[in-house]
Structure 1
Amino acid sequence: MAQTEIELDGLLAFPLTPFTGELEVDLDGLAENVESHVAAGAGALFVACGTGEFSSLSADEVAAVLAKARAVAAGRVPVWVGAGGGAAAARAGVAAAQAGGADGVLLLPPYLVTGPQAGLVGYVRHAVGKTSVSVIVYHRGTGVFSAQSAVKLLEIPSVVGLKDGYGDVEVMTRIVTTIRSLGTERSEGFLFFNGLPTAEVSAKAYAAIGVARYSSAVHCFAPEIAHRFHRALAEGDTAVMDSLLAGFYLPLVALRDETPGFAVSLVKAAARLRGDKAGTVRPPLVEPTSAQLDRLGRIVEGGFAVLKQIEGR
Structure 2
Amino acid sequence: MTNRQPPTGISGFPVTPLNENGNIDEEALVTNIEFLLEEGLESIFIACGAGEFHNLSRKEYESMVKLVASTVDGRVPLYTGVGGNLTEAIEKAEVSERLGVDGYLIFPPYLIDGEQEGIYEYYKAIVTSTDLNAILYQRSNAISSVETIEKLAEFPQVIGVKDGTGNMELNIELTQKIGNRLGWLNGMPMAEVTMPAYVPLGFNCYSSAISNYIPHISRKFYNALLNDDKQTVHEIYEDVILPINQIRRKRKGYAVALIKAGMEIVGLPVANTVRPPVVPVEEAHYEELKQILKVALENHPPNREVTI
**TM over 0.5: same fold?**
yes
TM-score (normalizing by structure 2): 0.94
State the alpha-carbon separation in 2 of the partners of residues 93 and 44 from structure 1. Answer: 19
TM-score (normalizing by structure 1): 0.92
State the alpha-carbon separation in 2 of the partners of residues 47 and 308 from structure 1. Answer: 27
The aligned amino acid for 2:59 is: D
1:37 maps onto 2:36 in alignment: yes
2:60 corresponds in structure 1 to 61
State the alpha-carbon separation in 2 of the partners of residues 232 and 198 from structure 1. Answer: 17
State the alpha-carbon separation in 1 of the partners of residues 299 and 144 from structure 2. Answer: 38
Q: Is the 8 A contact 1:192 1:213 kept in 2?
A: yes
Q: Is the 8 A contact 1:92 1:127 kept in 2?
A: no
SS in structure 2 of the partner of residue 11 of structure 1: strand
SS in structure 1 of the partner of residue 194 of structure 2: helix
1:260 positional shift: 0.5
Decide which moves more: 65-74 or 250-259.
65-74
Aligned residues: 301
State the alpha-carbon separation in 1 of the partners of residues 287 and 150 from structure 2. Answer: 46
State the alpha-carbon separation in 1 of the partners of residues 106 and 96 from structure 2. Answer: 11
Q: Is the 8 A contact 1:243 1:306 kept in 2?
A: no
Pairing of 1:279-298 with structure 2 (within 5 A): 279=271, 280-298=273-291
1:198 corresponds in structure 2 to 190
Return closer, same or farther for 1:238/1:114 CA change in 2, 3 Å cut-off.
same
Q: Is the 8 A contact 2:28 2:269 kept in 1?
A: yes
Higher-helix-fraction structure: 1
SS in structure 1 of the partner of residue 296 of structure 2: helix
Paired-residue identity, %: 32
1:241 maps onto 2:240 in alignment: no
State the alpha-carbon separation in 2 of the partners of residues 198 and 253 from structure 1. Answer: 7
Q: Is the 8 A contact 1:247 1:302 kept in 2?
A: yes
The aligned amino acid for 1:145 is: S
Deviation string for 1:69-115 (max 9, x for gaps)? 11111221121111111111111111111111111101111111120
- Give the gaps of 5 or more residues in structure 2: 303-308
State the alpha-carbon separation in 2 of the partners of residues 120 and 235 from structure 1. Answer: 38
- Give the gaps of 5 or more residues in structure 1: 181-187
SS in structure 1 of the partner of residue 113 of structure 2: coil
1:270 positional shift: 0.7
- Over aligned residue pairs, what C-alpha RMSD do you find? 1.7
1:9 positional shift: 2.7
Pairing of 1:226-265 with structure 2 (within 5 A): 226-265=218-257
1:213 positional shift: 1.1
SS in structure 1 of the partner of residue 9 of structure 2: coil
Moved over 6 A (4+): none
1:104 corresponds in structure 2 to 103
State the alpha-carbon separation in 2 of the partners of residues 135 and 55 from structure 1. Answer: 19
